[in-house]
Each structure stands twice: as structure tokens, then as C-alpha cells.
Amino acid sequence: MSGGPAVRISIESSCEKQVQEVGLDGLETYVPPLSMSQNLAKLAQRIDFSQGSDSEENGVDSEPRDGEWGKQEPEEEEDTVKFQPSLWPWDSVRNNLRSSLTEMCVLYDVLSVVKEKKYMALDPVSQDPTAGKTPQVFQLMSKKKSLATAAQLLLKGAEKLSKSVAENQENRRQRDFNTELLRLRSQWKLRKVGDKILGDLSYRSAGSLFPHHGTFEVIKNTDIDLDKKIPEDYCPLDVQIPSDLEGSAYIKVSIQKQSPDIGDLGTVNLFRRPQKNKPGTPWHIKLEAAQNVLLCKEIFAQLSREAVQIKSQIPHIVVKNQIISQPFPGLQLSISLCHCTGDKKINRSSPEKPKPDDHLYVLEHNLHQMIREFHKQQLSSVVMPHPASAPFGHKRLRLAGPMAYDKAEISSLQQSEGLLEKIIKQAKHIFLRSRTARTIDCLASRIEDPQIQAHWSNINDVYESSVKVLITSHGYEQICKSIQLQLNIGVEQIRVVHRDGRAITLSHQEQELQDFLLSQMSQHQVHAVQQLAKVMGWHVLSFSNHVGLGPVESIGNASAITVASPNGEYAISVRNGPESGCKVLVQFPRSQVKDLPKSDVIQDTKWSHLRGPHKEVQWSRMEGRNFVYKMELLMAALTPCP
């Protein structure tokens, strides 16, 4: 041991003090040692006073007595000192001893009497309730007193608790506001300006160029009365939207036939059921409504700007909240912005009769869609230039110089159709389509023979839709399939494509389509005869879609066909015009004609096979439900039985 280095042992007193806490840096904080008085207090705390609680009654009883004794004694002493000053100093002690002796004697007497059992016996007696009257009063009073203290303590505690609960609620409301704000922040753009929180309603970040600032303010709505019941839809966060974006709005697009006098045009009041924005509406509904109002305003502003700028034959009219345009003569397209702020009482509109719902929902929807496309276009048109030093701008326009674009190519780059032009084109198309459908339906219901069928395609372009029109005869659909028309309805005109590829372009005039269909129907009849002749074994002698003879038709041309019976004896000629109707002639063989004037030239019997004169068939008196059926009957009648 002596050889090695001295080992240093550090001795530390064991930790007598209690460790209060260990800091994050490992520092131990000790509980300071108790002082003498604290130690005493601590020990005193350990004494269980409740153990002596059963003696409480006695204690309480004895205490006032002691007090009485204590009080009486000095009084007596004073008295004796006052009135008997000559008495010796142990007088009171003597008196007390004397009285105690008397009592002891009495007690002895009583005990001896009891013990002898001759005169009286001691029996346990039920305790008289009145006997303990005095202690009970004390008990009651003391109980009352201690209860009062306890109640006071409890009340104090309750007060504290209610205070802290209220504070908690306040805190929670505060926290609710923050969580609501967080939710708001995740969906809307917010920024802090001074001590206000402002949000952005506008579509500017989505590419809108509408100059409305579209700012809303976030309001903390925590100062509600705590006593009242909190309404269920209470939200600590409220938003203040600009007054011009309040309420609800929509764009109404409609097409009317006759144009009312321009003088009558006022602000269109189209709200039949004004939606009320209650103050308790959640903020997201409010914000969405306000944003919708903003979008509608933007659409309308864009449309009215274009309406003023675009030069058209019939100028577009912008009056107050309405844009009026004439897509076709006698037709009026009106686009109006309906904005209801909700505050105003709409009394004027209520007595009016509810107008028919002439909304063109498709166009209204398309307007919204187009403005969003416009936004997107705005966003996507700004691309970063490459190389980086080049100016911002249209990428394709930058190519114009190096690629040597000509004027047409450059103008095609720049040309962009406005919202109004697009919507007018769509309106024109929608109108043309519905009018075409009506024309076809009218004809189909008016004319039973031949039948007309229209097959509309379900999927359309906004500017083009197509319908397939079949003209058939009832019962002969399989053989009479000659007329199949494809009507491509565009914006300004209808293009008709025949089955054989011929194409005709009709204007938007209703009459043109009607006349065309009528002439097609008349041609159909003759085509049907031709088909029928094939089936029946008759020979077609001549056929013409456009006959140059006979009365002139006002629409189209008459068509005609001549067919001969299988053995060539009979011939039927049919002439059918769209207006003049059909005329059917039958030619008989010469041999069957009795009253044929004798001719000098044809005397040989072989000439008797020549066909004779024509006779007209009274077509309306023919039996049969339609033209082709009648014709079939006629052919059958003229075909000799084998």
C-alpha cells in the first residue's frame, strides 16, 4: 500500500437534506432544513386531534363551566376582600373545604342509605331527555358554528372554482378561435395588417384580372354573454365581408322571342326566394357565397366590357345589370346579373306573377366554366423565359421572329374569342337545335304518311350537335330506307348530309328546313314505289326525282316514276309533289279497252299488245292505310294470277 500512490477518497456527507428538484442541468435543489418553530409546527401537525373528538362534548361542557368558575372565584374573592377584610386569607379555601365536606357527608349518607336497601333501591332509569337540555343547546350552537365555518370555506372554494371555470371557458373560446383561424388559414389566403387579420376572396391568384380587391376581415367573436346559453351554431370566428359582396348572386341567361321596348328595361329583379344570410351562418358558407358574388360580378363585368368593345351589326346593349344581344332576327339573348343583398325588402316583385323559368342553365354553367378557363389561360400564358435574360411574354410570340411567321399566323396566335362571343355562339346553337327539334316534331305529328323519325345524339359539342332523320313508311321500314339524313346543326346554319354523301347547307330559317323535309318526304313516296316494284317483280320504266313537267311546285320539285307489271301489260305512273300531292295513273293494255277508236294505222293484231290510254286512280278512295300499302294493293290487283 505504501508503494502505490495515495488514493484520494473524497468523503461527502450523506445527503440529509431532501432533494426538491433536479434541474435540467443536473443541479439539485435541496429543501432548506426546518427551523425550530417550523419543526414544532410540523410535529404539531402530526397530532391527530380527531382522537379526542368524543370528549368534545365534555370539553365544550366543561369549558364554559370552568369559565364560570374562573369568573366567580375572583368575584367571590373580591367580595370577601371587600366586605370581610378582617377575615384571614385562607377563608375561601376553608369555605370550599367546608362545602365539600358537607357534600361528602351527604354523599356518604346517600350511599349508606342505598347500601342498606331498606329505604330505597337504585334502579337504572331511562335517561330523561330534558336532563341534557343545556349541553344540547351548546352542541347545537357549536355545530352551527363549525358548519358555518365549513360553509364559508366551501363557498370560498366554490367561488374560486367558478372563477377558474369561467376563465377556462374563456381560454377555450380563445383556443377555439385559434383552431378556427387555423382551419380558415388552410382554406383561404390570410394576412395580418396591423392588428387586423385580412383575407383574400378574389380569384387573383387563380389568374383573375378583376380589379375588385375582394378583402374580408376576420373578427374574433368571443364577447358573448356567459350566463346565457350558448347557441349551438356559435362560432368564435366571424368574417366581415365587403358590403358589395354580401348576399347571393347569379347570372341569368335567357332567350326571348319578342324584344320588349328598350325603355322598359330596368333592373331585373328576379329573386323569387331571397335567401337570407343569417348572422349565425358559418364563415365558410359566407365566404363561399361572397366569392360566388365576386365571380358573378367578374363575369358580368367582362361580358359588358366585351359588349361595348365588340362591333357587331346589331350592337349589344348594356343596360344596368343586363346585356341584350340579338343572335338571330327577332330573337333576344339577355344575360343579367342578379344580386340580392338580403337587406332590401323585395316587395315589388312579390305581387308579380311568377314568370316561367326561362333560364338557360347550360349557358349559365358554361359562363362559369369559361371564366375559369380564361383564368387558367391567364395563368398558363405566363411562362418563364428561356434564356433567362429574355423578357416575359408569350412564348409562341417570341418564336414569331425567328420562325418568320406571316401575318395570318401571328394573328391566329393573338386572336382569342371573347366570353360574350362564345356565349352568343352557344346561345345561337342551343336555339337552332331546339328549333330544329321543334320543326321535326311538328312535321312528324302533322304528317302521318310517311313517317319521320329523329335520332338525336346524346353527346354534343357546345357549338355542334347532330340528328339523324329517317323517313319511312309504316310497315315497310325494311324496304323503304332510301331517305336517311344527317343533320349537323352548327351555330348559324344546318348542314344536311344525305346517305349518298350529298350535302346541303340550310340557313337558320325555320322555313328552309321545313320545306326541305317536306320535299324529302314527297320524294320518299316515289322512292318507296321504286323499292316496292323491285320486291313485287315490276319493272321500272322511268324514274325522276325532279320532273320538269306538270304544275310548278312552290317548294321543291315533283318526282315521278313509271313501273310496268311483270308481264308488261299494265303500267303505273306516279307523280308526287310536295305541294300538289300524289297522282297515280294506270295504263291498261290496248286489248282490254273496249271503246278504243279504230285506227287505220294499227290494224294488225300484234298491235293489240301496245298499251292503251292512262286512267287516273282515285287515290283517296283506294283501300289501305298508307301510300305504300295502297300501291302494293294496286300492283297486286294488276298482276295476273299465274
Partner 1 sequence: MEAPPVTVMPVTGGTINMMEYLLQGSVLDLALESLLHRLRGLCDNMEPETFTDHELVYLLKGQQGNPFILRARRALSHPNAPWHLRYLGQPEVGDKNRYALVRNCVDVAASHSLPEFLNEMGFRMDHEFVTSGHIFRKGAMKVVVCNVSRVQLPGNTENTERMSNSHLVELSVLAPAGQDTVSEDMRSFAEQLKPLIHLEKIDPSKQRH
| 436 in Cβ contact with 456 (< 8 Å) | no
User: Judged by CB, which is closer to partner 1: 398, or 611?
Assistant: 398
Contact positions with partner 1 (CB under 8 A) in 253-312: none
Q: Measured from the CB of residue 192, what is the shortest distance to partner 1 in angstroms? A: 15
Q: Rounded to the nearest 5°, which phi and psi values hold at 406?
A: -90, 180
User: Judged by CB, which is closer to partner 1: 387, or 548?
Assistant: 387
Instruction: Draw the binding track, 396-425, toward partner 1 (x: CB under 8 A; -: no contact).
Output: --xxxxxx----------------------
For residues 456 and 434, give the distance between their C-alpha atoms in angstroms, rounded to a whole number: 11
Q: Measured from the CB of residue 273, what is the shortest distance to partner 1 in angstroms? A: 39
- Match 306538270 to its residue by C-alpha cell: 550
| 301 in Cβ contact with 211 (< 8 Å) | no
Q: Measured from the CB of residue 281, what is the shortest distance to partner 1 in angstroms? A: 29
| H or E segment and range at residue 66 | helix 56-83
Instruction: Draw the binding track, 537-556, toward partner 1 (x: CB under 8 A; -: no contact).
Output: --------------------
Size of the site for partner 1 (CB under 8 A): 17
Instruction: Draw the binding track, 381-400, toward partner 1 (x: CB under 8 A; -: no contact).
Output: -x-xxxxxxxxx-----xxx
Look up residue 220 and give its amino acid. Answer: K
For residues 377 and 380, give the distance between their C-alpha atoms in angstroms, rounded to a whole number: 5
| H or E segment and range at residue 215 | strand 215-220
Contact positions with partner 1 (CB under 8 A) in 199-228: 205
User: Judged by CB, which is closer to partner 1: 330, or 401?
Assistant: 401
User: Judged by CB, which is closer to partner 1: 377, or 554?
Assistant: 377
User: Judged by CB, which is closer to partner 1: 15, or 404?
Assistant: 404
The reply to whether omega before 450 is within 30° of 0 (cis) is yes
Q: Measured from the CB of residue 185, what is the shortest distance to partner 1 in angstroms? A: 15
User: Judged by CB, which is closer to partner 1: 390, or 633?
Assistant: 390
- Match 320539285 to its residue by C-alpha cell: 557
User: Judged by CB, which is closer to partner 1: 405, or 619?
Assistant: 405
Is residue 620 classed exposed, middle or buried when 0-12, 13-18 and 19+ CB atoms within 10 A define those classes? exposed
Q: Measured from the CB of residue 387, what is the shortest distance to partner 1 in angstroms? A: 4
Q: Measured from the CB of residue 217, what is the shortest distance to partner 1 in angstroms? A: 23
Collapsing DSSP to helix, strand or coil, 392 comes out as coil
Q: Among 497, 325, 507, 504, which residue's Cα sits nearest to residue 421?
A: 325
User: Judged by CB, which is closer to partner 1: 50, or 389?
Assistant: 389
CA dihedral (615, 620, 623, 627) in degrees, to 10, reads 90
Q: Is the dihedral of CA 265, 266, 272, 273 positive or negative?
A: positive
User: Judged by CB, which is closer to partner 1: 341, or 378?
Assistant: 378
For residues 628 and 620, give the distance between their C-alpha atoms in angstroms, rounded to a whole number: 13
Q: Measured from the CB of residue 373, what is the shortest distance to partner 1 in angstroms? A: 19
Q: Measured from the CB of residue 233, what is the shortest distance to partner 1 in angstroms? A: 34
Q: Measured from the CB of residue 293, what is the shortest distance to partner 1 in angstroms? A: 24
Binding piece for partner 1, criterion CB under 8 A, among 224-232, 380-388, 495-503, 547-555: 380-388
What b/e readout covers 22-47, taking b as 16+ CB neighbours within 10 angstroms?
eeeeeeeeeeeeeeeeeeeeeeeeee
Secondary-structure percent of the chain, ordered helix, strand, coil, rounded to 5 = 45, 20, 40
User: Judged by CB, which is closer to partner 1: 350, or 414?
Assistant: 414
Q: Measured from the CB of residue 389, what is the shortest distance to partner 1 in angstroms? A: 5
Q: Interface with partner 1 by CB under 8 A: which residues?
A: 205, 382, 384-392, 398-403
